[in-house]
Chains A and B, each alone.
Chain A
Amino acid sequence: MTAVAVLAAVVRQEWGRLTSLLLAHFRRLDLVEDALADAVETATTRWPRDGVPDNPAGWLHTAARRRVLDRLRAEMMAQRKMPLLLIDAEHRSTATTFADPDDQVEDDLLRLVLMCTHPALDPAAASALTLRLVLGVSTADIARLFLVPEPTMAARLTRAKKKIVTAGIPFAVPSADALPERLQVLAQTAYLAFTAGYAPGSGPDVVRTALAAEAIRLVRVVLELRRGEPVLVALLALMLLQHSRRDARVDDAGAVVLLPDQDRSRWRQDEVAEGVALLSSPALTGPIPVLAAGYAVQARIAAEHATAASAEATDWSRVVRHYDDLLVLAPTPSARLARAVAVAEADGPLAGLDAMAGLDDALPRSHRLPAVRAALLERAGERDAARAAYGLALQRCGNDAEAADLRRRRDALG
């Protein structure tokens, strides 16, 4: 491996640990991130010239630590204050170093993750900040992943960091009774980043899957720290099962391929297997929090599709039962609509249409609702009603690719 490749790998693997270690020592978010970025910058020129150090992460830690101390020294000179704090920081004997293999480093990493996903932060900003500080994704790359200009993302990250410092969001693991709730917020933050990656019409597919992959990496990192945490186990299963289909979701022309038409040989079987295995792990047996249960049920629905040999072989009656479970946990209109689709597959289009009764009031602006109804009416042989429903769906649809598909299906009715 070249020095540059080693550096990239160390940054990817150790950025969060390095950040949390420096933060535990100095408690200065503003200085720590810049210092670490400077250290990486220096390594970019020095490692190819002088060779990769024996302990690359330790090298970055030492370099960043020196930067922070330089900055603190400069600040204290500027304020003409006695550098007592500095001496304290330089000589503190209890300070953890990167060589410490014990739990302290892992605890610091959990502190960092919980700080970045604090509920007092805006959720979108929290996901971006977590990618930056925990996973070491560059601001430019985060901007690309979230499809905003880099200055916008830089400003969003700066604002989030300012909020952390000014509002006094702690670099701490909360008490045992508060921790599960905080881990739930963390899970929601990770899932927000994951679904942002798969939002329809959101940029090239490579970018979208990259963001989803980073969200999965975040959950893996935290799961290492909190093994068997139900909400994280369920979320990882859900993400893996959805992510396993990424190569089959678009065709060569870039158009979205719907589930029944996907080439199942392109699904990642290793990820399917891992997701399915997670679903039967002990962490998800017995009573678990509602959020975890919701992720688990959605993952089980995804697993039904992922393990069916073909679209025709899908056990739709089991899918319907999973949706029944989901509706008990989270009776949302979109879950009811998805259940109606499964009912139609299990018991025919008329049963599906029945299952959609009452949804119009709940989804007055949805184009998905009339689009699904149109498809079911078409299958039931109700061509005029289907044509009208496609027309309504077209009126409401704001996505060009989806609108083109609806128009094609309406015109095919003759």
Chain B
Amino acid sequence: MLIAERPWDWQHADEAQRKEYFDAHHAFERYVDRHGRCHSSAALSDADVATTVRHQGDRAVVTDGPFAELSEQLSGYYDVELPDLDTAIAAATLLPAAYTLEIRTVVGVEGYESA
């Protein structure tokens, strides 16, 4: 579950609003625990301090900023195990209303083995 939001929404949230965010995350986590499990999760630093690395020819070019300039930026993720898309959508709706959530499944890459 990838979380996208406008950075200033959180920065400008007052104490009561921040509590609403925390409550929403708690509701999400409880729901996930009831229907599956959470493998890992993290909040990410703001996109304006992101660093992007691109291969150009035989060298790596490092630039300041995220890989796509959008009004919403990736700000965190949950790696959760849930039975199906409907359960994942129900879980996503519990997260703060300011978020846009992208749901992706984790797939195995054929032929790849960890080093």
Contact = CB atoms under 8 A, between A and B. Distances in A.
Interface in B57-115: 83-89, 103, 105, 107
Contacts of A174: 86
A166 B84 contact: no
B84 A120 contact: no
Interface residues of B, number: 10
A174 B105 CA distance: 20
Contacts, number: 25
Contacts of A311: none
A333 interface: no
B107 A170 contact: no
A166 B107 contact: yes
A178 B89 CA distance: 12
Interface residues of A, number: 10
Contacts of B83: 168, 170
A168 B35 CA distance: 15
B90 to A, nearest CB: 8
Contacts of A172: 84, 86
A279 to B, nearest CB: 33
A178 B84 CA distance: 15
A313 interface: no
Nearest to A174: B86
B85 A118 contact: yes
B84 A169 contact: yes
A177 to B, nearest CB: 11
A167 interface: yes
Contacts of A169: 84-86
B105 to A, nearest CB: 6
A176 to B, nearest CB: 14
Nearest to B90: A178
Contact of B105 (A118, A167, A178): A167
A167 B86 contact: no
A168 to B, nearest CB: 5
Interface of A is mostly: loop
Interface string A166-207: 111110101000100000000000000000000000000000
Interface in B19-64: none
B103 A167 contact: yes
Interface in A109-168: 118, 120, 166-168
Nearest to B82: A168
Nearest to B89: A120
A37 to B, nearest CB: 26
Nearest to A120: B85
A118 B85 CA distance: 10
A353 B103 CA distance: 50
A315 to B, nearest CB: 46
Most B CB within 10 A of own CB, among A118, A166, A168, A172: A168
A174 B86 CA distance: 8
Contacts of A178: 86
A129 to B, nearest CB: 15
Contacts of B88: 168
Contacts of B87: 170
A170 B85 CA distance: 7
Contacts of B85: 118, 120, 167-170
Give the one of B84, B85, B89, B103 with max A CB within 10 A: B85
A170 B86 contact: yes
A258 to B, nearest CB: 44
A119 to B, nearest CB: 9
A163 to B, nearest CB: 9
Nearest to B103: A167
A12 B59 CA distance: 60
A120 B86 CA distance: 10
Contacts of A120: 85, 89
B106 to A, nearest CB: 10
B103 to A, nearest CB: 7
Nearest to A114: B86
Contacts of B103: 167
B30 to A, nearest CB: 18
Contacts of B105: 166-168
A24 to B, nearest CB: 15
25 contacts: A118-B85, A120-B85, A120-B89, A166-B105, A166-B107, A167-B85, A167-B103, A167-B105, A168-B83, A168-B84, A168-B85, A168-B88, A168-B105, A169-B84, A169-B85, A169-B86, A170-B83, A170-B84, A170-B85, A170-B86, A170-B87, A172-B84, A172-B86, A174-B86, A178-B86
Given A167-B103, A172-B86, 12 more contacts: A120-B85, A166-B105, A168-B83, A168-B88, A169-B84, A169-B85, A170-B83, A170-B85, A170-B87, A172-B84, A174-B86, A178-B86
Nearest 8 pairs between A and B by C-beta? A170-B84, A168-B85, A168-B84, A169-B85, A167-B85, A170-B86, A166-B105, A168-B105
